[in-house]
Structure 1
């Protein structure tokens, strides 16, 4: 969505322009465009319409902590959601692992800021002249340029012991959850449902493979051996097809020679009265 055109502290589409600067020493400034969040769909509990502020033109280096600090000047902030584009979206899930994070944002983003009271939204959309907000003050600096890349590189270095601990914990939880699901499925076997139908499975013929880490490793090794045998079998099949093709070519050649020989024999047996 293109930023609206700024006119004397206000903008088109019902937006209000808030001037911001990167630091106190910066002379250049840009604008954030804000307006109360209004949707036609049913009210979202995460975004109450009377306490939610919709924000446009957020720089990619702005974090949730920075946006929370900026809009706290208008009133107590309950939550901040950053998105690539406007929409209902889904609630940002808690990061499952500190070692593997998604790609960093490259474009300007939007935000949904939820205040504790409706007065925060009214203060944010007020058209009164205000001093530019500082995005990177001295007490909360934002790292950019070379410092940002150095920080990203340092964060990318993984501690093998901590990573192994996290992997072991994840696999333990996964195995426990799988065992619980299998136990629930086993309890339902042979039990008729509401309509009187009984679910029939192949467990009576073939025991199921437990989905554990050790079982998955055995399954992978079995697939590798099967693939190797299949490749060897395909090689011998190709060799067999070549031999068969050569044999068919020899039979055709012999067939043509026999046809010529029979034609000569028939010509010699032709009756000649004189």
Structure 2
């Protein structure tokens, strides 16, 4: 009987009968943004694949349930299917941590997916049943491969650098052409500065941002001026009230003098 956990079918994986089993988690691949590479009725999504897993290994393990059309293997979960294969670089970019992997197995028939999901967990899938033991990237074989891959080949490195720089130059050329032909909202052609220090590219989005900052500065300045005017007016009112009080006190003193009731001491 198939075992399930949190929506996944659980399968047992062993190197041979004498080894400890490891568990992998599978379910039918069904996402909102479906890719033509992974049709939902024929694709299995797998988590918890051991670090030594390879496409060849997965093909040998899962072909017992039906003809495998394609396999995708990724080192992390949040990668779009197939993207890691396309953008993989031997010398640059993020290096795989060598941890557990996620995979997608695409079958030619829907019935193969149903057979996998109904496979009992008590019947472990054995890797030792593979005829070509070189397919198993473990132990000494894995260490040899890791060492060989760590060696830098100058020709390969130079080729990768040249390809990157060619793509970069093409991208910059397209951006410059787009900047030349750009027009503003009022129909005028946008003029951009060139040279060793071209400064900010005056695209429409940049111009809008600059105008927005200028308006913000003006509003802050007006607000500051308003507060300064308010403070000045408050001081003037205070001085006026003090002057008025002084005049009133002076008149009182004069009245007291006239009435001979003024006694300062």
The TM-score range, normalised by the shorter chain, is 0.5 to 0.7
CA drift at 1:159: 1.8
- 2:196 and 2:189 map into 1 onto residues whose CA distance is 16
User: Which structure's CA Rg is the greater one?
Assistant: 2
Aligned to 1:183: 177
1:1-274 map, 5 Å: 8-22=1-15, 24=16, 26-39=18-31, 41-83=32-74, 89=80, 91-93=82-84, 94-100=86-92, 102-127=94-119, 131-135=123-127, 137-141=130-134, 142-186=136-180, 188-189=181-182, 192=183, 195-203=185-193, 206-207=194-195
Aligned to 1:252: none
Deviations 1:2-33 (A, max 9, x none): xxxxxx542233443333222x4644333333
- 2:114 and 2:174 map into 1 onto residues whose CA distance is 51
Give the unaligned 5+ runs of structure 1.
1-7, 211-274
> TM-score, normalized by length of structure 1?
0.57
More helix by share: 2
Is the 1:81–1:92 contact (alpha carbons within 8 Å) kept by the matching residues of 2? no
CA drift at 1:147: 3.9
Deviations 1:19-64 (A, max 9, x none): 3222x4644333333232344x354444322112122321121123
Aligned residues: 195
Deviations 1:199-240 (A, max 9, x none): 53343xx53679xxxxxxxxxxxxxxxxxxxxxxxxxxxxxx
- 1:65 and 1:146 map into 2 onto residues whose CA distance is 18
Give the unaligned 5+ runs of structure 2.
199-265
> TM-score, normalized by length of structure 2?
0.58
